[in-house]
Amino acid sequence: MPRREAPSRGFPVSEFEARLEKAQAAMALGSMDAMLLTTEPEVRYFSGFLTQFWQSPTRPWFLVVPASGKPVAVIPAIGAQCMSRTWIKDIRTWSSPNPADDGIVLLAEAIQEMTDPTSRIGVMMGKETHLRMPLEQYAGLCEQFPAAEFVDATSVVRDLRMVKSEAEIEKIAHICGVASDAFDALPGFAELGMPEADIFRRFKIELLNCGADDCPYLVGRAARGGYGDIISPPTERRTADGDVLILDTGSVFDGYYCDFDRNYAFGSASDAVSKAYVDVFRATEAGLEAARPGATTTDLFTAMNKVLEEAGALSNDVGRLGHGLGMQLTEWPSHTSWDFTELEPGMVLTLEPGMEFAPGKLMVHEENIVIREGPPQLLTKRAAPELPVIS
């Protein structure tokens, strides 16, 4: 299959200007004078800084967003050249790692320039976040601002990141298409009797050949009559007649993820498995019907969950029936009975209905969509309406 034509990489400066403007408007509402970002997606969202170097836990990286004016990067010198290719112009570096001061003096200076002693300084503290710097260094930073208030900035970033620009959607659509192509190719190389680990390996190679930059997430399991675990690495066990295989991939193009799965039977499928597949397929259809601007993530949950419950679902340990998607494999919001996030055009979401259809046996489907005026746009190639069988 010829490789899909890829969209251009990176973003125009206007994309970052728009993100910054919206963030500063939200910061003003929250009376924040500066926002300190330490995590990869957040630093990248406001700067465009894209590198796998975050894999190394050694060095902290900081981006400070002022109430007005452009963000300031306070980063290890090893990243200076990579950062200089972004729209960020104020780049302050130190030689890291550094035992006496790993950037905290520089960082405090940058924050002081933007704030008064009694300012409110935003840091992400809420759900699905963490602080990517040593706790004791954070405590040391806070001590330098004794009269300031460190406040939660999660909603500023969350509300912004949840609604994607068309340029972001184009990247996600591309990787969803790439992974759809790879899933299409799977029955051509996966065979009954092939070890699980070999199928994973071949599938990763297929993803790269189809145009994925990387495949940081590929989990799944093949098991007779249905799988019970959807987050483990593959085993050397050979696929056998009656197995059901799930492959769930978060592959990446230009820093943007897909996150969806496909199910395959090997040899033959029991009636219970075939029925569960169709039931969960129908739950996804109900999700697609419910995914409209003005509806909520809870409406999505309710629509899908109704189909699953009527089909006799025993339980669902995933804790939700889908979530946001974009710069990370999973993002806010969550489709649950309690989330109630209102859907807006531009939100990229997974629909991920799943159920335990027999004790210890799961069936999980997943598609990726973008909310549009009217019906949603499917970014993945829709799964087959009946369970594909590989012989």
With binding defined as CB under 8 A, does residue 81 bind a second copy?
A: yes
Residue 82, SS3?
helix
- Given candidates 1, 28, 29, 82, which one binds a second copy under the rule CB under 8 A? 82
Report the distance separating Cα 357 and Cα 308, nearest Å. Answer: 9
Residue 42 CA, distance from chain mean position: 12
Least distance to a second copy from the beta carbon of 189, Å?
A: 13
- Given candidates 330, 341, 368, 380, which one binds a second copy under the rule CB under 8 A? 330
Segment interacting with a second copy, rule: CB under 8 A, options 61-69, 171-179, 197-205, 302-310: 197-205
Q: Residue 28 is which amino acid?
A: A
Helix axes 135-143, 104-114, angle to 10 degrees: 40
Sequence-distant (6+) residues with CB within 8 A of 149 are: 118, 119, 120, 121
Instruction: Classify residue 50 as left (phi > 0), alpha (psi -120 to 50) or beta.
Output: beta
Least distance to a second copy from the beta carbon of 378, Å?
A: 22
Contact between 197 and 276 under an 8 Å Cβ cutoff? The reply is no
- Given candidates 24, 47, 115, 129, which one binds a second copy under the rule CB under 8 A? 129
With binding defined as CB under 8 A, does residue 52 bind a second copy?
A: yes
| Sign of the four-CA dihedral 277, 279, 283, 284 | positive
With binding defined as CB under 8 A, does residue 30 bind a second copy?
A: no
- Given candidates 13, 85, 89, 382, which one binds a second copy under the rule CB under 8 A? 85
Pick out residues in 95-114 that bind a second copy (CB under 8 A): 95-99, 102
By C-beta, is 329 or 387 nearer to a second copy?
A: 329
Residue among 217, 210, 200, 216 at smallest CA distance from 52: 216
With binding defined as CB under 8 A, does residue 59 bind a second copy?
A: yes
- Dihedral in degrees, nearest 10, Cα atoms 237, 242, 243, 246: 160
What is the token pair recorded at 244? 């059901």
By C-beta, is 81 or 294 nearer to a second copy?
A: 81
- Given candidates 33, 168, 196, 213, which one binds a second copy under the rule CB under 8 A? 213
Residue among 229, 260, 259, 233 at smallest CA distance from 244: 229
With binding defined as CB under 8 A, does residue 205 bind a second copy?
A: yes
Residue 357, SS3?
strand
With binding defined as CB under 8 A, does residue 167 bind a second copy?
A: no
Segment interacting with a second copy, rule: CB under 8 A, options 13-21, 111-119, 227-235, 297-305: 227-235
By C-beta, is 285 or 336 nearer to a second copy?
A: 336
Chain residues binding a second copy by CB under 8 A are 50-53, 55-59, 76-82, 85, 95-99, 102, 123-136, 139, 152, 201, 204-205, 208-209, 213-219, 228-233, 250, 317-320, 323, 328-330, 334, 336, 338-339
